[in-house]
Structure 1
Amino acid sequence: MTKRLAPGSIRTRAKTLEDKAQVRKAFIAAGRKLLADQPRGEVSLRRIAAEAGYTPGTIYQYFPDYQALLFSIREIDLQAATERFEALASAIDDPVVRVRALAKGSAKYWLQHPGQFDVLFSRPPSKDTTPDQHLIFGRSPVVQRALKIYHAAVDDLFRTLPSSKISSRLAADTLIATTYGIVAFPRGTHTMRWSNHYRMVECAIDALVDSWLHSAHVVDHDASKNPIAHEKS
């Protein structure tokens, strides 16, 4: 792990590929820390360089601008979270249990990593693109990979239902918004007294999944009583 130098001290120039990788990590760690402390505004590269213990000119050798550094921080943090969520989902066979565990597990992960959550999800909209300026972060491969976990889990659950009033995509989007919204909203209103955040997530996820299961059986029961109407629908 790269140690931060005392204020006023400057690191020497990296020479090997390993040294350069460590310098890049130092800038990312410093940027993540400062951005978490100031979630609603930008932090200058000069300030991030000073936090990491380097001259301002050095950071521009690794990141051409603020957006490039922000993209890298988000990409690394979401990649780590996505790998955890994939492992969680793949370890459970029952589709209903899997969906519940995935949503609750992801909420617990972000509640344990609040700084990363804020940098990823709580910042105001911006032109957050890749360093080559061609790809918006929200459409990047790591975001699509993360979304795929939820979509696949909900798709598997809906395949077990006899029928449904909503699409599995709508259900998955609602699951994601509910889970992440409960993590985010109390953080944005921290002066209010909230119940335990994780218990709030558990309550909402269980109610949501239970509503899908109940609705599917109600629809199937109604259709069985009126097969003609079911065929027309």
Structure 2
Amino acid sequence: MESNAKGHQDILVAGNTASPRRARSAEAKDHVRQALIDAGRHLLLAKPSGPISLRGIARYAGYSSGVVYRYFADRDSLFLAIRDSELANFADQLELEFATYDDAEKRLFAVADRAFDFSRDQIAAFGMNSLFLFWFDTAGTQNAAPIRDTAPAAARIHAFFEQAVRSVMTPSSHRNSNIQSAVGALMASISGAVLLPRGSDHDDFPDGRIILRDIVEALICRWQSMREPTR
């Protein structure tokens, strides 16, 4: 059996007459799955004029069209896997860069700033905000997004936001409902700032990053003034 141009052996090279050979080991399956994710990511970045098909992704990765359905039920499943991969890389960056950040407020501002950059880059690259599940296909229509995000990478990012928020809150406001509300406010602030226009011909409109910093400053003041309700 020959391998194809990309070195994969999950299909036979054209000219051979046999059915595609399945990846057997867990490592081989992970390799094929990642190859399909990488191919889909590349095609999304290429900004094609029409929708991207699973067959086209499989073909670009060097596999037969039938192989992709062994790993992904439909195109949205593969796109969500691409999103999760992007989120995992972002979570790795956050943990690596800020694990030893000393000042709590500086850490929070840095987290918000990096999330702002990540979200803006995702929109520029893919036409979607993958941090907050705003998914748009190449035709410009919004795909149905799950109400709850169960991706492990999303949980890592949420936990990092929670840690950053908790560190600037007063001890008396450390009820779980307060913290989750605060995390939601932070995420909504980042999302909203990213979607703001970068400028305006009608007025001297500041960049979203500047507005985000003002909002985070106001949120910190709010969180630090919170007290347990009087019983």
Tell me the TM-score normalised to structure 2 length. 0.65
The 8 Å contact of residues 120 and 129 in structure 2, kept in 1 or not, is answered as no
170 and 85 in structure 1: CA distance in 2 versus 1, 3 angstrom threshold? same
Q: Which digits, 9 at most, give the CA deviation of each residue in 1:173-198, with x for residues without a partner?
A: 11111113322454xxx997799x99
Give 1:122's aligned residue: 134
Paired residues for 1:3-152 under 5 Å: 12=13, 21-35=30-44, 43-113=52-122, 114-115=124-125, 118=128, 120=130, 121-123=133-135, 124-126=142-144, 138-152=149-163
Higher relative contact order (CA 8 A, sep 6+): 1
Distance in 2, Cα, partners of 1:191 & 1:212 = 24
Gaps of 5+ in 2: 14-19, 136-141
Distance in 1, Cα, partners of 2:40 & 2:47 = 10
Distance in 2, Cα, partners of 1:4 & 1:53 = 7
The 8 Å contact of residues 47 and 126 in structure 2, kept in 1 or not, is answered as no
Identity rate of aligned residues, in percent? 24
Q: Which digits, 9 at most, give the CA deviation of each residue in 1:33-75, with x for residues without a partner?
A: 3345669x96321122223333212322333432432232122
**Structure 2 SS opposite 1:157:** coil
Gaps of 5+ in 1: 129-135, 224-229
The 8 Å contact of residues 45 and 125 in structure 2, kept in 1 or not, is answered as yes
Paired residues for 1:178-189 under 5 Å: 178-186=189-197
**CA RMSD between the two structures:** 4.3
2:211 pairs with 1:200:
no
Higher helix share: 1
Give 2:184's aligned residue: 173
2:219 pairs with 1:209:
no
**Structure 2 SS opposite 1:115:** helix
Distance in 2, Cα, partners of 1:47 & 1:119 = 23
The 8 Å contact of residues 35 and 42 in structure 1, kept in 2 or not, is answered as no
The 8 Å contact of residues 168 and 220 in structure 2, kept in 1 or not, is answered as no
156 and 16 in structure 1: CA distance in 2 versus 1, 3 angstrom threshold? same
The 8 Å contact of residues 45 and 65 in structure 1, kept in 2 or not, is answered as yes
Distance in 1, Cα, partners of 2:161 & 2:190 = 11
Tell me the TM-score normalised to structure 1 length. 0.65
Distance in 2, Cα, partners of 1:194 & 1:83 = 40
